[in-house]
Every structure is written in structure tokens, then in C-alpha cells.
Amino acid sequence: MDGDLTRWTEIFLSEITVEIVIERNAMGRHPAEAGFPQSSPVSPILFVIYTSGLIKLVEEYISEAQGLSSVDNLG
């Protein structure tokens, strides 16, 4: 992957926090160690880049496989 894209992705994903809300009670923010932020227009693009190599690998390994994916970016 291109070095600039790698650095940009690292910056985009740094300092992301998650918060769980149950019945309108927030549990507090915590650093996220994995995943993509919801509701960002960039997240589906990063998902496709991230999974494209995996999909290609599966298709090459299993001739009957078709690599399909879906991204739901509603947050």
C-alpha cells in the first residue's frame, strides 16, 4: 500500500473513542483499539481497501468462491 495512504489512515484512526449507551445511560468513552468510525464517509473506502486483499486471497484459494461484501455506514 502507498506510504501516504498508510500514514493518512493511521492519522484518521488515531484517538478514536467508543461509548456504550444503554437505555440512555452513557457508560463513558474508552479508546477504540480496532474498527472504523461510523458515519464517516471515509470508513467504507477504508473497509474496501482493507478487505480487498482478503477477498482476492479467498477467491484464489477456493475457485467457486465469489468475494462479496457490504458496508452499512449508518450511525
Question: pLDDT at residue 74 above 70?
Answer: no
Confirm whether 70 is domain-assigned: no
pLDDT of residue 56: 81
Confirm whether 47 is domain-assigned: yes
Confirm whether 14 is domain-assigned: yes
Looking at the chain, the whole-number percentage of residues with pLDDT higher than 90 is 0
Confidence of residue 55 (pLDDT cuts 50, 70, 90): confident
pLDDT of residue 45: 79
The pTM score is 0.45
Confirm whether 67 is domain-assigned: no
Confirm whether 69 is domain-assigned: no
Question: pLDDT at residue 11 above 80?
Answer: no
How far is Cα 62 from Cα 44, in angstroms, rounded to an integer? 25
| Domain total of the chain | 1
What is the domain range of residue 23?
3-61
Question: pLDDT at residue 29 above 80?
Answer: yes
Confirm whether 29 is domain-assigned: yes
Confirm whether 49 is domain-assigned: yes
- Give a three-class secondary structure readout of the chain: CCHHHHHHHHHHHCCCEEEEEECCEEEEEEECCCCCCCCCCCHHHHHHHHHHHHHHHHHHHCCCCCCCCCCCCCC
CB 19 within 8 A of CB 38: no
